Amino acid sequence: MVTFRLHEVILYVQDMGRQVSFYRDFLRLPVLFPADLSNVEELDWVTFDTGACKLALHSGGKCDFGIDAPKFVLSVDDLEEWHSRLSSVAVNVDKIRSPALGIRLFDAMDFEGNRFSIESVQ
């Protein structure tokens, strides 16, 4: 039984228009969100279908390793259970939050300082 599913990889970008053009036009990844890409420069979040999981471009990156490094997101059914489990083994976990309607998640850091998120979609 698989508990975690790789749900998303977040890539922090500085030039959203250029990066969207690369992933959409050059690599030909289908856009999942948003449906209208007419004003790409003003967007802060664009997701692509990669088959196994989503690739999300997130604007505002500053090229700070460890802060803006690509981050992966794991999807689980019971978010509270995993928040508690990770906390109990001294994993650095943030509070559970809801950044968008129907999405609850928390950020965490593994034992070497690599950041990741665990998410539950309702």
Residue 100 tokens read as 């968008």
Segment 18-27, tens digit of pLDDT: 899 889 888 8
Contact in structure between 50 and 29 (CB atoms under 8 Å) = yes
Q: Which of 29, 34, 55 is nearest to 44 (CA)?
A: 34
Q: Decide which of 61, 84, 112 is a domain's last residue.
A: 61
Q: Decide which of 61, 77, 99 is a domain's last residue.
A: 61
Total domains in the chain come to: 2
Indicate if 46 and 95 belong to the same structural domain: no
Which range of residues forms the domain containing residue 52?
1-61
Tell me how far CA of residue 57 lies from CA of 14, 34, 42, in angstroms: 10, 11, 13
Any idea how long the chain is? 122
pTM (two decimals): 0.74
If you average pLDDT over residues 69-85, what whole number do you get?
89
Evaluate the CA torsion angle 73, 78, 84, 86 in order and state its sign: negative
Q: Decide which of 40, 61, 82 is a domain's last residue.
A: 61
For the stretch 62-67, contacts whose Cβ atoms lie closer than 8 Å and that sit 24 or more positions apart, written own/partner, are: 62/12, 62/14, 63/14, 66/113, 66/115
Indicate if 3 and 44 belong to the same structural domain: yes
**Per-residue confidence at 9, pLDDT binned at 50, 70, 90?**
very high
Indicate if 75 and 107 belong to the same structural domain: yes
Position with higher pLDDT, 44 vs 65: 44
Indicate if 77 and 22 belong to the same structural domain: no
At which residue do the structure tokens 């977040």 appear? 10
- The mean pLDDT of the chain is 86
The rounded distance, in Å, linking the Cα atoms of 72 and 10 is 6
7: CATH: 3.30.720.120
84: CATH: 3.30.720.110
Q: Is the pLDDT of residue 66 over 70?
A: no
Segment 96-105, tens digit of pLDDT: 999 888 999 9
Indicate if 1 and 26 belong to the same structural domain: yes
**Per-residue confidence at 65, pLDDT binned at 50, 70, 90?**
low
